[in-house]
Amino acid sequence: MVIIGPIEHNDQNIVYQSSNVQVKIGDRILSNGTLYITESSLSWKPVDLPESISISWPEIGVHAIANNPTKCIYFMMDNAVSWPGVYDPGVRANGNRQQQEGAGNASGSDDEDEGNESDCEPEITEFWLIPNDPNTVDVIFQSMTECQALNPDPCDSISEDEGGFMGMEEDAENEVGQENMRNLNLNEDDEQFADAEED
């Protein structure tokens, strides 16, 4: 869940808090603000806006320590985030709205198919947390790792279970296939010897 609006934090649930943390969303660098890491979410409150953004841990796909533009935290969400007046993924840096691929194109079925493929591509949103003090990056990363472990994505566990089951099926099929090949080779050899005896 992603919440954009006024957010009140319960001090008892805050695992880590730091001011003077700049946020970059996509290609847009925002102002400084205060970062809140709680057991259930990551939040950021900019100094120049009344609204905060709060992201629950299952929404965050991956997070890592990055060195560009400086030592910072990178994390990615598996969906598009729009923050009205702050960040709109459909608008370029020059303020012009991007036209979706295939939009307004009616030249043929191939073009329509390509347009459908682009519509099915998963949308992501990339974030960078850039603290004023780079020495805090490791602490932020550790806090994020611990809190994310408390909130596993239920979809991940389902995928792992299905993956394991499919792996067992594939192993069984491979064993059966190899056994059939051995039997086939033996049968062919027996027939060859029988023909030789008749001659």
pLDDT at position 40: 93
| Predicted pLDDT of residue 176 | 52
**pTM of the shown model:** 0.65
Residues 72-131 have pLDDT tens digits of 999 999 889 999 889 988 655 444 544 444 444 444 444 544 555 445 566 899 999 999
What single DSSP character describes residue 199? -
Q: Which carries the bigger pLDDT value, residue 64 or residue 199?
A: 64
Altogether, the residues listed in the chain come to a count of: 199
Contact call for residues 23 and 131 (beta carbons, < 8 A): no
Contact present, 56 and 1 (Cβ < 8 Å)? yes
Instruction: Choose from 37-41, 156-160, 182-186 the range with maximum mean pLDDT.
Output: 37-41
Cα–Cα distances in Å, from 38 out to 14, 16, 30, 99, 143? Answer: 4, 7, 22, 38, 9
